Structure 1
Amino acid sequence: MKKAEVVFIPFPGLSHLISTLEFVKLLINRDNRLRVTVLVIKFPHITENDVNTKSLPISESLNIINLPEVSLPPNTDPGFSSMTALLEAQKPNVKQAVSNLTTREGQHGHLAAFVVDMFCTTMINVANEFNVPTLVFFTSGVASLGLNLYLYTLRERDNVDSTQLLLQNEVAIPSFANPVPSKSLPSFVLHKEWESFFMRLARGLKKVNGIIVNSFEELESHAVHSFFSHPDLSDILIYPVGPLLNLEPKTKGTVDADSDDVMKWLDDQPPSSVVFLCFGSRGYFDEDQVKEIAHAVENSGARFVWSLRKPPAKGTMAAPSDYPLYDLGLVLPEGFLDRTAEIGRIVGWAQQAQILAHPAIGGFVSHCGWNSTLESIYFGVPIAAWPLFAEQQANAFELVCELKIGVDIALDYRVELSGRPNYLVTADKIERGIRSVLDKDADVRKKVKEMSEKSKKTLLEGGSSYNYLGRLIDYIMYEASLMKKAEVVIIPSPGVGHLVSTLEFAKLLINRDNRLRITVLVEDKSCGMPCVSGRGR
C-alpha cells in the first residue's frame, strides 16, 4: 500500500525537538497509512539532537535524514539573526532531500504535507515549490498561539506597535479569558530588536494550512474555543493534540550517578513533601540570585531537590552547564550544603519528568516553559511560577490567574536581551511561593490533580486530542489523494528536431508540477519497436 509521506522540519532546540519527535511517534503509531521523514537540522552548541532522534523507533514508516551542516557568514551576531541565517542556508539541503524523496515515490508513497516548527516557517516556500500544504507544529499552548496571532493582527490591521503595549496596564487578548498584564507579554513583542523576528514568525503562522498545538482542549478550553468564535482567530485551523511528552528517562550519553542518588533519596521521603526547583535546559541565575534562592529554601524548612546550573560564557548561544563540586561552595551561602545535607539534594542537569513523577514531589518551582508545564500537570504537581524569557511570562499568567493550577513567585520577572534580569527576587518572596505550593490543603493542588486525570484521558479513544488527531490524519490523507501522479505518455516523432523540442517540453512539464509523471516512448531503431526512453518524477 502506498503511504502518505509527511516531511517534518523541527527546530533543533531541545524542548522543540522533544515534543516534535513525540508527535511523530504518535502519528505513525495511530495510522499505518502514514510515512514520516524527519529532516534534522544541526545548530552550533546544540548536541542533544542525535541522542533524541536515536530514541525514535525503527520502523518502515519512519525515515530520519540528518541534513549537512552549514557555516554561518563571518561576524553573524548570535541570537535570532544567526538562527534565521542558518535556516535560510539550509533551504537548498531541504529542497534536495525532498526532491530525492519524490523521485522514489513509487517505492514509498505520495508526498502529502510539510510539518514545520513554529520557528521554521521560512520553509513554507520550499513546500510551495512541491505543491503540498504546510502545517506548523506549535510547541507552546493555544493561548500563547492566539496571543501571537492577535498582536500580529493589531500591527498589520491597526498599526499598533507591540513595543508600545508596555505603556498600557493590560491588553485584552481573545485567547485569554482575562486581560493580560503588559508585563506578562512575551519578550519578543516588547523589544524593538526582536520585532522583525516576531512579525516574520506570526506572518508565517497566518500563511499555513493548519496549526498543530501541543496542548489539549480540556486544559485550554477558552483558548481553543476562541479559534472558533472570535473573528480575528476563526480563520485559523488548529489541532490541539497534546500533551506530547517524553516520559522515558533521558540520558546525557552516560550513566548519571546524580540522578540515581536523587531517586534513591526521594524513595525515603514522605509523599508530597519535597519541592523541586528546575528552570529548564536554558535556565540559570547569577550568584546573587542563587544565594537568595538558597536562603529561601533553607528558611522554608522544606525538603528539596534543586537543579542548579552554571551560566554560559557571556555573548554566546551555549547552554548552561553543571557546576563542578568545588564551585558550588563559592556560589552558595557559606555552610549551606552542610546544613541542608539531610533535607535536600543539589544536582546539575536533572531527569525532570522522572523526578516529577515521584510521589515524594509536592511542588515544582518552574520557569513555566510549556513542556515543563505539561509534565507538571500530567503528574499532578502544582507549580510555583517564576518565568524567565520568551513566552514564559504569558504561560505563568495563564497557569496562575486563568487556570488556577499554580501560585505566583515572580510573574513579572524577565531576563532581558542583555542577559541580565529586570530585578532580584528576594528570599522572602521565594519562600512564600515554596510554602504555598507545598500546602496540602490548597485549591491549586486539587485543581491540578483533576487536570492530571484529564491529561491522561485526552489521547485515549474518545478524548479531545484523540479526535483532533483523527481529523488531522483525515486531512493529510485527503491531500495525499490529490497528490497522486497524473501519468502522461508522450510519443514524439523520431525526427531529431521533433524529438529535441518534445523532450524540452517534457522537462518543462515535470519541473512545473510535481503531480505529473511523464513516460516518453522513443522508437528503438534496432527493432523498429517503441521503447521507454525515460521517465520524469
Structure 2
Amino acid sequence: MAKTIHIAAVSIPAFSHQASIIEFCKKLLHLHHHYHVTCIFPTIDAPVAATLKLLQSLPSTIDFKFLPPVNKQDLPQDVSPAVQIQLAVSQSMPSFRDTMRSLHSTTPHLTALIADPFANEALEIGKEFNLLSYIYFPPSAMTLSLFLHLPKLHEEVSCEYRDLTEPIQIPGCIPIQGQDLPEHFQDRSSLAYDLILKRCKRFSLADGFLVNSFLELEEGTVKALQEQNRGNRGENRGNRGKNRGNRDSPVFLVGPVIQTGPSSEPKGSESEYCVRWLENQIPKSVLYVSFGSGGTLSQEQMNELAFGLELSGQKFLWVVRAPSDSANAAYLGVGNEDPLKFLPSGFIERTKGQGLVIPSWAPQTQILSHSSIGGFLTHCGWNSVLESIVLGVPMITWPLFAEQRMNAVLLTDGVKVALRPKFDENGIVKREEIAVVVKGLMQGEEGNGIHHRIEVLKEAAADALKEDGSSTRALSQFGNQIENFLALK
C-alpha cells in the first residue's frame, strides 16, 4: 500500500475561490487515492455559509480548518471587498503558521502546500517547513500569464495602463487593451495595485502552478508560460531548486474544475419553480441572466437591463440582486432587501409570459444544463465561464470587476464563443443595445456560429477530463513531481 501523502491547501474568504479549490482537491484525490488534504480557510467575521454546505459532503480524505476570524470592522472600510479580503488573509498568517506547525507535527507529515494566488504569503511559511509549494490558480491561464508578466510590465510602462494607445501583449495571449486589465490595475497609486504587484513578485516562490483551465482552451498561453518558466525558475530558486522533480512542466492545466457536488444552497420553492418553468419552454429558447455570487448593477443599469430584455422579445430567466453603485457589493455577503422591488414598475406583470425573475440565487449548473437554455448573459467570473463551456451554452459577456474584462476578451476575441455589448461613455449598456445583442445571440447568424464553436469547445473540455485527457495527464504529472521530491528527501 502506498504511503499516505499529506497536503495542505489554503484559500481566501470568498466562496468562488473556496468552492474551486475544494473541487480541485476532490479531483486530485479521485486520481491519487493515497493523498490526504487539509483545507485551511481564513475567515472574515464567520465562515462563508455556502462553503459550509459544500464541506458537508467531503470524502474522508479531506479535512478542513477555519482560522480565527478577522473582524470586518477592523479592516479599512473605504476599500473594495477584494482588498479587504487580501488584508484579512495577511492578518491571518500568524494563525496559519500555527496551524501549519500543528499539521506538520502529526503523522503523516506535510509534504506540500497549495495556496490561492491571493494567499501566497503562505508560500513563505511553506518554505519554513521545507514543503513543495504550489499556487492553485482559479482563473484562466491568461490571467496567470498577466500576473507573472506584471513586474516587468510595471517597469516598462510609466503611465496608467488604460492610457496606453497600443494593446498590451501578454506572453502567449491575444493582445488586450489597457482598460481591459483587471480593475485593480487601473490606478497604479492605489493600495489595491500595490498589493497585487507584491503578490505577483511572490509567485517566484512557487514550485508550480495548477491552473483551472484546459489545454484546448489556452494551448498557446500555457506553452508560453512553460517556456518562460524554464528560463526563469533556475535564476529565482538558486541551489534549492535542484530537488524539484519535473522542471519542464511547472504549469499544469487541470481544469475545467467546476462544482459537481450538492447545491451550495438549500432547495426551496424559488429554485424548484424556476426548473419547472424551464420544462415548459422550447429547447434553446431561454437566455439565462446572472451576475454570479457577488456581482451587482446600479439602479440605472438594472432598469436598462430590464427594459432591454423586454424589448428583445426573447425568453429569459433572470437572477436579480438588489442594486448597488459598487459592482461587487455582494461579494462579502448579500443584504436582506427584496431585489424585486427595485425592478421597473410593471416589469414583472408585462413580461409574465416572456420571462421569469428569481431573487438573489438560482441553481446555476442545473439551469445551464437544461435543454431550454440557449444563452447565458454572464459577468464572466471564471467559474461561470467554465460551467457555460462544459455545458455548451453560448455567452453574452458583461464583465463587472476583478479579471472579468480579460475573460470577456478571451471569450469574444480569442475562442469566439460570446458576444459583448457596448457600454456608453457613462459606463451604461443601453436597452436598445441589450435587445440587439440578445437577439443576435439567440436568433442571429453570428449567434449560430457561436453555438457551433461552443459545442466544439464543450467536446474539448470533456476530452480533457477523460482518463487519457490533457488535464488528467497534467494532474498525474503534478503527482509525479511530488513523488520525485519525496524520493530525493
TM-score, normalised relative to structure 1: 0.81
Q: Is the 8 A contact 2:306 2:344 kept in 1?
A: yes
* Equivalent residue in structure 2 for 1:273, among 281, 285, 292: 285
* Pairwise CA distance, 1:474: 0.7
3-state SS of paired residue (1:115) = strand
Partner of 1:184: 180
Partner of 2:403: 391
Q: Is the 8 A contact 2:298 2:324 kept in 1?
A: no
Q: Is the 8 A contact 1:211 1:239 kept in 2?
A: yes
* Equivalent residue in structure 1 for 2:321, among 309, 326, 333: 309
* Equivalent residue in structure 1 for 2:212, among 214, 217, 220: 214
User: Residues 310 and 289 of structure 1: is their aligned pair in 2 closer, same or farther, counting only changes over 3 Å?
Assistant: same
Amino acid at match of 2:431: A
- Measured against aligned partners, the alpha-carbon deviations of 1:214-233 in whole angstroms (never above 9, x if no partner) come to 00001111211222345898
Moved more, 311-320 or 431-440: 311-320
User: Residues 75 and 89 of structure 1: is their aligned pair in 2 closer, same or farther, counting only changes over 3 Å?
Assistant: closer
- Measured against aligned partners, the alpha-carbon deviations of 1:212-265 in whole angstroms (never above 9, x if no partner) come to 00000011112112223458987582110000011345243x432111111001
Structure showing the higher strand proportion among its residues:
1
* Higher relative contact order, structure no. (Cα contacts within 8 Å, ≥ 6 residues apart): 2
Partner of 1:93: 95
* Equivalent residue in structure 1 for 2:202, among 173, 180, 204: 204
Mapping for residues 140-179 of structure 1, pairs under 5 Å:
140-155=139-154, 158-161=155-158, 163-176=160-173, 178-179=174-175
Partner of 2:457: 451
Q: Which consecutive residues of structure 1, in runs of 5 or more, have no partner in the other structure?
A: 414-420, 484-537
Residue 382, structure 1, aligned to residue 370, structure 2: no
* Equivalent residue in structure 2 for 1:473, among 456, 459, 479: 479
* Equivalent residue in structure 2 for 1:250, among 248, 255, 263: 263
Give the count of matched residue pairs. Answer: 463
* Equivalent residue in structure 2 for 1:56, among 53, 58, 63: 58
Q: Is the 8 A contact 2:396 2:418 kept in 1?
A: yes
Instruction: Please give the alpha-carbon distance, in whole angstroms, between the structure 2 residues aligned to 1:162 and 1:96.
Output: 42
Partner of 1:347: 358
Instruction: Please give the alpha-carbon distance, in whole angstroms, between the structure 2 residues aligned to 1:449 and 1:323.
Output: 39
Q: Is the 8 A contact 2:299 2:323 kept in 1?
A: no
TM-score, normalised relative to structure 2: 0.89
Amino acid at match of 1:120: A
- Measured against aligned partners, the alpha-carbon deviations of 1:330-389 in whole angstroms (never above 9, x if no partner) come to 422222111111221101212111110101000001111100000000110000111011
- Measured against aligned partners, the alpha-carbon deviations of 1:415-443 in whole angstroms (never above 9, x if no partner) come to xxxxxx95111001111121122137521
- Measured against aligned partners, the alpha-carbon deviations of 1:179-230 in whole angstroms (never above 9, x if no partner) come to 2122211111111312201101211222211110000001111211222345
Q: Is the 8 A contact 2:12 2:89 kept in 1?
A: no
**Bigger Rg over Cα:** 1
Amino acid at match of 2:333: A
Q: Is the 8 A contact 1:226 1:233 kept in 2?
A: no
Q: Is the 8 A contact 1:312 1:319 kept in 2?
A: no
Partner of 2:17: 16
Instruction: Please give the alpha-carbon distance, in whole angstroms, between the structure 2 residues aligned to 1:147 and 1:356.
Output: 30
Q: Which consecutive residues of structure 2, in runs of 5 or more, have no partner in the other structure?
A: 234-248
Moved more, 125-134 or 227-236: 227-236
Amino acid at match of 1:143: M
3-state SS of paired residue (1:56) = coil
* Pairwise CA distance, 1:170: 1.5
* Pairwise CA distance, 1:27: 0.8
- Measured against aligned partners, the alpha-carbon deviations of 1:283-304 in whole angstroms (never above 9, x if no partner) come to 1112211111111111111111
* Pairwise CA distance, 1:311: 3.6
RMSD: 2.4
Moved more, 432-441 or 263-272: 432-441
Instruction: Please give the alpha-carbon distance, in whole angstroms, between the structure 2 residues aligned to 1:202 and 1:164.
Output: 17
Instruction: Please give the alpha-carbon distance, in whole angstroms, between the structure 2 residues aligned to 1:320 and 1:191.
Output: 27
* Pairwise CA distance, 1:68: 2.4
Identity rate, percent: 28
Partner of 2:37: 36
